[in-house]
Amino acid sequence: MTQPVFALTHTDTRSHARRGTLRTAHGVVQTPLFMPVGTRATVKGMHPARLADLGAQTVLANAYHLFLRPGDRAVEAAGGLNAFMGWTGTTLTDSGGFQVFSLADTVTVTDEGVAFRSIVDGSKHFWTPEDNMAIQQRIGADIVMQLDQCPPYPAPRETVETAVRRSAEWAQRCRSAHTREGQLLFGIVQGGVHEDLRLDSVRQLSGIGFDGYGIGGYSVGEPHEMMLESLGPVCAALPADSPRYLMGVGNPTTILRAISLGVDMFDCVLPTRTARLGTAFSSEGRLNLRNARFASDQGPLDPQCSCPTCTTFSRSYIRHLVTTKEMLGAILLTEHNLFYLLDLTAKARAAIEQGSYAEFLAAWMASPAAADY
Instruction: Please write the tens of the pLDDT for every residue from 88-128.
Output: 999 999 998 888 877 777 889 999 999 999 999 999 999 99
Active-site positions read 94, 267
Task: List C-alpha distances in Å: 337 to 106, 273, 278, 306, 320.
Answer: 34, 10, 11, 12, 18
Is the pLDDT confidence value at 51 over 70?
yes
d(CA 192, CA 155): 8
d(CA 252, CA 373): 7
Cα–chain-centroid distance for residue 214?
Answer: 9
Cα–chain-centroid distance for residue 146?
Answer: 15
Reference 184, options 247, 140, 249, 121; nearest CA is 140
d(CA 310, CA 136): 38
d(CA 84, CA 72): 11
Domain boundaries, the chain: 6-268, 269-373
Cα–chain-centroid distance for residue 307?
Answer: 21
- Residue 1 vs residue 62, higher pLDDT: 62
For residue 22, count other CB atoms closer than 10 A to its CB: 27
d(CA 19, CA 348): 9
Q: In this structure, are strands 124-127 and 114-117 parallel, antiparallel, or unpaired?
A: antiparallel
- CATH fold label, 6-268: TIM Barrel (3.20.20)
How do residues 126-180 score in pLDDT, each as one tens digit? 999 999 999 999 999 999 999 999 998 999 999 999 999 999 999 999 999 999 9
